Amino acid sequence: MNCKKIERLLSRSFDGILKPEEKTKLEIHLESCPLCREKKKEYEIILNTLRMKDQPEPKALFWERLQPKLKEKKKYVPWTLWKSWSVRAIPLSLLIVVLLAAIVIFFLPQQKEELSQSEALLLRNLNPFLETRTLLEEEGVEDKNMMLIFTTMEEKNGLRRYYP
Amino acid sequence: MDEKALVQLSKKGDEEAFSVLVKKYRAKIFNLAFSLTYDREIADDLAQEAFIKAYFALPKFKLKSEFGTWLYRITVNHVKDYLRKKGRMDRMSLVDIKENPFLYKDEIMKKEKDQVEEEKRRLIHECVQTLPKKYQIILSLRDIQGFSYREIAKILKIFPGTVDSRLHRARKMLRKKLTPLLRKKGGNHEL
């Protein structure tokens, strides 16, 4: 086994997770390799120093200092919730509007604007009623148009004007 | 009262129950933050912020994992965010490691042997800080906090095999950085 693989075993040996056969391999190698023995020493110094138990304690009155912060944060929670939702809600609502518009435009059948029979005839400059004949034959364009409009309106309302 | 019951009460907003959990975990959370920052003030602030985050995230906690594991995960992520924002760790190199006469003021009064030990400890800790964040975290969890491979895997949400290989790389990297530094100190450190 080469020194590279041994270094991995060496690292694992500090965690106590070596299998018995791995442990034997490591011991045999260490006996014959001064470089790996040196590495073992270095690891021992580093890991023993890191694993020293005299770690510092947190500052006094930890909970007493934490409690007012929790209360203060609680006040802001509804606002922050709304803030985070509103940020998401704006693009979301825009997307919904665009999607609805697309559905309306592309998928709903468009209603054809149906013209009444008389309107169709008038648009083609044909005479729907006998009484309009005189109007169509008039020369004044504005008068003619106005009369035609009234005629169609009366037709819709079911009224007929009498023209002698 | 058992931990699950305390967590359930805390989820409903019971501060009294949450205070019991805080008292149980404050030292561990502080030490975890300290092992990654090496600054008592900052570690204390980070520990407090981690508890605040945990308190407001409790309604989302489904009790699938242990409360402790979940809390450590919050702390690790919070400290990672802090380190990323600070950006100090990645920029720092071994050249930056200098003696800091104000860091351990009370050491003057200690015996010479203790001073050597303390200096060695400081050097190792400062060297850990120069490692990439993921290696700092794994070293802190295993070699400073003493978590098992399985616990680390749960906290970091990685496979135990990844814990093994990452830990080995971290230790190897640390050893390579430290060996010349410790030797340069004139054999004070048994090397």
Global ipTM: 0.75
What pLDDT band is residue B118 in, cutting at 50, 70 and 90?
confident
Return the pLDDT at B99: 43
Q: Is B40's Cβ below 8 Å from some Cβ in A?
A: yes
With a cut of 60, say whether residue B102 has pLDDT above it. no
What pLDDT band is residue B97 in, cutting at 50, 70 and 90?
very low
Compute the nearest-CA separation of B91 from chain A (Å): 23
Q: Is B180's Cβ below 8 Å from some Cβ in A?
A: no
Compute the nearest-CA separation of A90 from chain B (Å): 25
Return the pLDDT at B174: 94
With a cut of 80, say whether residue B42 has pLDDT above it. yes
Nearest to B22 among A42, A49, A66 (CB): A66
- The 10s digit of each residue's pLDDT in A103-123 is 888 887 766 667 777 777 777
With a cut of 50, say whether residue A60 has pLDDT above it. yes
Compute the nearest-CA separation of B121 from chain A (Å): 6
Mean pLDDT, chain B, integer? 83
Compute the nearest-CA separation of A105 from chain B (Å): 42
Nearest to A57 among B18, B27, B128 (CB): B27
Compute the nearest-CA separation of B69 from chain A (Å): 20
Q: Is B157's Cβ below 8 Å from some Cβ in A?
A: no
Residues of chain B with CATH 1.10.1740.10: 1-86
Q: What is the mean pLDDT of residues A24-33?
A: 93
Contacts of A79 in chain B (CB under 8 A): none
The dihedral formed by the CA atoms of B29, B31, B35 and B41, expressed in degrees to the nearest 10: 90
Compute the nearest-CA separation of B83 from chain A (Å): 20
Return the pLDDT at B84: 86
Give the whole-number percent of chain B exceeding pLDDT 90. 53
CA separation, residue B47 to residues A40, A58, A74, B134 (Å): 35, 9, 18, 19
With a cut of 60, say whether residue B81 has pLDDT above it. yes
Most A CBs within 10 Å, among B171, B183, B184, to test the A interface: B171
What pLDDT band is residue B96 in, cutting at 50, 70 and 90?
very low
With a cut of 90, say whether residue B103 has pLDDT above it. no
Q: Do A58 and B175 touch (CB under 8 A)?
A: no
Nearest to B171 among A17, A43, A52 (CB): A43
Return the pLDDT at B85: 85
Q: Do A77 and B56 touch (CB under 8 A)?
A: yes
Nearest to B19 among A45, A50, A63 (CB): A63
What pLDDT band is residue B93 in, cutting at 50, 70 and 90?
very low
Return the pLDDT at B101: 45
Return the pLDDT at A52: 76
Nearest to B44 among A41, A58, A77 (CB): A58
Fold adopted by B90-191: Arc Repressor Mutant, subunit A (1.10.10)
In words, the CATH class of domain B1-86 is mainly alpha
Angle formed at CA B136 by CA B133 and CA B141, multiple of 5 degrees: 125
With a cut of 60, say whether residue A34 has pLDDT above it. yes
Contacts of B120 in chain A (CB under 8 A): 45, 49
Return the pLDDT at B136: 93
What pLDDT band is residue B100 in, cutting at 50, 70 and 90?
very low
With a cut of 50, say whether residue B71 has pLDDT above it. yes
Q: Where are the domains of chain A?
A: 3-50, 80-109, 117-157
Q: What is the mean pLDDT of residues A34-54?
A: 88
Return the pLDDT at A9: 93
Nearest to A7 among B22, B30, B172 (CB): B172
Q: Is B124's Cβ below 8 Å from some Cβ in A?
A: yes
Q: What is the mean pLDDT of residues A68-90?
A: 73
What pLDDT band is residue A162 in, cutting at 50, 70 and 90?
low
Residues of chain B with CATH 1.10.10.10: 90-191
With a cut of 50, say whether residue B68 has pLDDT above it. yes
**Which of A86-100, A126-140, B143-157 has the weakest average pLDDT?**
A126-140
CA distance B131 to B94: 10
Return the pLDDT at A2: 86
Return the pLDDT at B165: 95
Q: Do B171 and A47 touch (CB under 8 A)?
A: yes
Q: Is B128's Cβ below 8 Å from some Cβ in A?
A: yes
With a cut of 90, say whether residue B19 has pLDDT above it. yes
